[in-house]
Amino acid sequence: MQIDYYSNTQDGHPHVVKDGHPHVVKDCRPHVSTRWPPRDGLQGKAVVDEQAYREGKLGTARPAGEGTSELINKEKLSQGRLFTRSFEDGLGFEYVMFYNDAEKRIVCVFQGGPHLQGMPGFFHGGAIATMIDATVGMNAIVSGGIVMTANLNINFKRPIPLCSIVLINSQLDKIEGRKLLVSCNVQSVDEKILYTEATSLFVKLNPEKEFDIKELVLKSAPPA
Ligand SMILES: CCCCCCCCCCCCCCCC(=O)SCCNC(=O)CCNC(=O)[C@H](O)C(C)(C)COP(=O)(O)OP(=O)(O)OC[C@H]1O[C@@H](n2cnc3c(N)ncnc32)[C@H](O)[C@@H]1OP(=O)(O)O
């Protein structure tokens, strides 16, 4: 068995496991300790300035002493959790993903809980969008490495009943340089109802940049 992206599967981090054919992507438990951004076990180029992160400087808009407020303080950052793993068991996002490496696609079996309600009795559109982003995002990550969502287009065709089980079928369509185009649909388990369709664009973070995530945080800081 080969473990990608995260070498430590005991620490509560999400991780990707390649396990023969089809490859299986498992998002590990317990979700309550899942943290983002990842700090341990990330293979390859670090995207976070570890020292700055530990010292709580990562989210500082400007160097201390210039009278600027902290964007994100160390304590709050340390409480970070993967959004889809931030609910109590059964109340939020319950899912497992199966990755087929040969076909570059993921099937996600998703059962949302009652805290994802929008219109009474149906899922909130944002919850559906989150699960779509997580699935196409994982497809892009396992296909291309560290990426961020640049564009996500969703057509909601039918409301999805709360607590029902659905399939999210995701497919890598094209890679153009740093851009990965991934499409997906959401269907009932018997594949008779098409609930949602989506297309997405993911961009691989620029390898020329030294601190990608840090730079993004700093760029996003509101004016002092
Ligand atoms: C790592 C291990 C993880 C392991 C597991 C982790 C946990 C499990 C996670 C599950 C998966 C969750 C997945 C969620 C992922 C998010 O939700 S990410 C959060 C939402 N996204 C964001 O906040 C991104 C905000 N945007 C940005 O930071 C920047 O715009 C980007 C996307 C990084 C791109 O910036 P850049 O690197 O400077 O790229 P840039 O040079 O501007 O553009 C590159 C190319 O893309 C094109 N492009 C860029 N944006 C667009 C756009 N919106 N439309 C069209 N084209 C565009 C450009 O035109 C350009 O094209 P070419 O000229 O090359 O043909």
What's the 137 CA to ligand 1 centre distance in angstroms? 10
The pTM (predicted TM-score) of the whole model is 0.74
Residue 182 belongs to some domain of the structure:
yes
Residue 40 has pLDDT above 80, yes or no: no
Using a 6 Å cutoff on CB, does residue 14 contact ligand 1? yes
Residue 130 belongs to some domain of the structure:
yes
Residue 186 belongs to some domain of the structure:
yes
**Total domain count, the chain:** 1
Residue 212, CA distances (Å) to 11, 49, 204, 216 in order: 24, 9, 10, 6
Determine the structural domain holding residue 147 and report its residue range: 2-219
Degrees, nearest 5: CA angle 81-86-87: 170
Ligand 1 atom with the shortest distance to the CA of 27: 8
> Which residue among 83, 142, 203 has the greatest number of ligand 1 atoms within 8 angstroms of its CB, and so is best to mutate?
203
Mean pLDDT value across residues 144-165: 97
Residue 121 belongs to some domain of the structure:
yes
Residue 210 belongs to some domain of the structure:
yes
The per-residue pLDDT for range 93-122, each reduced to its tens digit, is 999 999 999 999 999 999 999 999 999 999
CATH number at residue 38: 3.10.129.10
| Report for 24-38, 68-82, 185-199, 210-224: range of highest mean pLDDT | 185-199
What's the 222 CA to ligand 1 centre distance in angstroms? 20
In angstroms, the CA 128 to CA 26 distance is: 19
Q: Whose CA is nearest to atom 10 of ligand 1?
A: 134
Using a 6 Å cutoff on CB, does residue 82 contact ligand 1? yes
Using a 6 Å cutoff on CB, does residue 152 contact ligand 1? no
Residue 224 belongs to some domain of the structure:
no
Q: Whose CA is nearest to atom 49 of ligand 1?
A: 150
Residue 165 belongs to some domain of the structure:
yes
What is the ipTM score, two decimals?
0.94
Local confidence band at 75 (pLDDT 50, 70, 90 cut-offs): confident
Residue 11 belongs to some domain of the structure:
yes
Q: Is 133 tagged catalytic?
A: yes
SS3 (DSSP) at 35: coil
Residue 135 has pLDDT above 50, yes or no: yes
Using a 6 Å cutoff on CB, does residue 178 contact ligand 1? yes
In angstroms, the CA 38 to CA 14 distance is: 9
> What pLDDT shows up at residue 83?
94
The residues with which 183 forms a beta bridge, in sequence order, are: 171, 199
